[in-house]
Structure 1
Amino acid sequence: MPLWLQLRNRLIYLIASGRFQAGDKLPTVRELAVDLGINYNTVSKVYQDIERDGYIVSKRGKGTFVADQGPAQAEEAKTEVDFLTDEFIRQCRELGVPRHDIADVLQRRLAAAAE
């Protein structure tokens, strides 16, 4: 999984799970890039992506903050399991997997895990 997507998913999880609350200030793009040891442009891309999705807002000269009301998806993701399930489904759909095949894949993996 690409690094930018890992970072995006992690930040969305932290917001959806309540670790970051509405109004919390996030680290600057530069601070986060240095802290994680990754490229500035990678962090910038993630911030732009999750801002476009409504998870965060940028205030010129003040910083980047968790949005007061995130998208409905964040409201529904109350538990880590719910969030992971939503992400699994979303990623399968991005790969072009039909809905009924997603259920089949999940059932096969559950059966394999039970053995």
Structure 2
Amino acid sequence: MHPTGARGSAPRCGRASRPPPPIRGADYAAVHLVDLPDVHAEAVARVIAAAATTESGLARAYYGDRPGHPVVMARAHWAAVTATARGDEGALPYLREHAGRVRRVDCGDLATGVDRDTR
């Protein structure tokens, strides 16, 4: 199970750290959970490509009708996501607020996206 606050703290921790020079100039951030064993690089690449071709710079993997990870956000969203990420919801409040601007990216042909939480 996710420790309380794990999702909310991850974006803040990521922004607080000083990334190496190649990442410092990144235009997009991909948020991906570690407990999605069948979601691989192909899904991440597909969602990044979709975010790069949408005006909002927001994209999220979908597995059938179910939203999942990865979620990709353009640099313009990072500060707002970091400021609003709380508790176990992480970026969900921000994504809900901007739902009409988040491109849905079908990744059901690549994975199930099933979260494998264990104690």
Q: Which structure shows the bigger proportion of residues in strand conformation? A: 2
Larger radius of gyration: 1
The normalised TM-score by structure 1 is: 0.28
Instruction: Name the structure, 1 or 2, with higher relative contact order (CA <8 Å, separation 6+).
Output: 2
TM, length-normalised to structure 2: 0.28
